[in-house]
Structure 1
Amino acid sequence: MAERLRAIPASRMVPPTGFEVAYAGPDGDEVRRTMGEAANVPFERLSPVRSFPSYRGQRNYPGFYWSSSSGAHVGYESWLERNEAMAMDFDPTVVAFAAQPFWLFWPEGGRVRSHAPDFFARKADGTGLVVDCRPASRVKPRDAVGFEATARACADIGWGYRLVHGHEAVWLANVQWLAGYRHPRHLIEPVAAGLVEVFLEPFPLMKGAETVGDPIAVLPTLFHLLWSRRLDVDLAVRLDSSSLVQAAS
């Protein structure tokens, strides 16, 4: 499918002043629309337009991340993309997201340029967010042109656009830890209710867990509540047993 979506006949030029997208329809065939026509397409539920190859000796690290917000696996091609997928999954304003759901086309210098963004996210308010991930040191001039064009296309229809170069190290380490407890199997409601009550006021993490029961049994639910934002903690500092936790307002 990826190569088929790459192959754009010469007669299928984009409008001289606009953007078009190509994506996989329900039957797997290419669907091509102007950016405005595609504004309401559920890209967060579409299949990727590119594959995620894995081969001996490759320098990037592809894989699949299970998203608790989407309830599905989302592909990634690097650790930076994996970290951003996790960050979007942790973001309460994102309800679902998908990897590389469309090709964007636009005219430039008498020819058609193209770019496949890394992610599309659906926000809780119904708007879209398009995300690209690239370390700043690896953004080449050609890449910058594609990112800038994608930002313009998103602005034209009221979507957000984000170019991610990296994540703050302590925050990322904390979110990675909490992500290990993102699956609903870690939510034990009687324990959760007890934890919310204990943390109505700021209270140390471990002491709060011990108040509810055996920490070995209680902590997985506590971390799940932190992941799902039913409990709050300052993630700008290293999470530990003394971290002050409080029920979300």
Structure 2
Amino acid sequence: MELTRQTTVRLIPAAILQPRIRLVDGDRLITGPAFSLSNITEEAASPSEHINVPVEGVIAQRVLYSFEASRQQLNRFNAPGDDGVYYAGTTLPASIAEIQWHLENPAGAPQFDRTRAYRAVLADLRGTFLDLRRADSPALVPDTATSYPEGRRIAKSAREGGWDGIIYPSARHVEGVCLAAFDRRSISSIRLGQMLAFEPYERDGQMRYGYRNIIPQHLVRTQGRSLTL
């Protein structure tokens, strides 16, 4: 399938994209630069100005670091040590469902257990993608013990066949569609979307994760240069 411009949404841990976020224990700084009210003031803007913002340079590089990070973990279309893959959904709900599954299931990637705050990253994908949306394949079933080995086999064959990636139905969202891009040259027009925080709650004796949309207080413009923090 030839994609000329498919908008995608990927949820990336906010701390990767915005290293100004700090980890503090009491009055001791663990990671990240020190808090600077002057810097925050200079950056202050209305929340709408920080949604769908085009990015380049360092932030874009951090988005594309997904190709490297995916080499370190087990995924549907690549295993540790394989070539990296950029995973994204075609809608925000599909991407949210994928993160929720990883948070709620022991079979999910372990690093998700330590990550709660995410930034939505939009990007356009172009290229020739193997279309599995109507395929009856073991690679698409929810059970990772069955789907991941078959998915990696398909991905290997697709790479060798010159495909730029795979488009497939989400195993976590009923109406969701996901894409796995093999080549960073397929990705363009990277821009930042909203921030989300996933929070645990109990339902029917099981731990589930809901989410909140975040509008950081320091992005809310008030009169003059005074801020609500």
Larger Rg: 1
TM-score when normalising by structure 2: 0.28
Q: Could you say which structure has the higher strand fraction?
A: 2
TM-score when normalising by structure 1: 0.26
Higher relative contact order (CA 8 A, sep 6+): 2
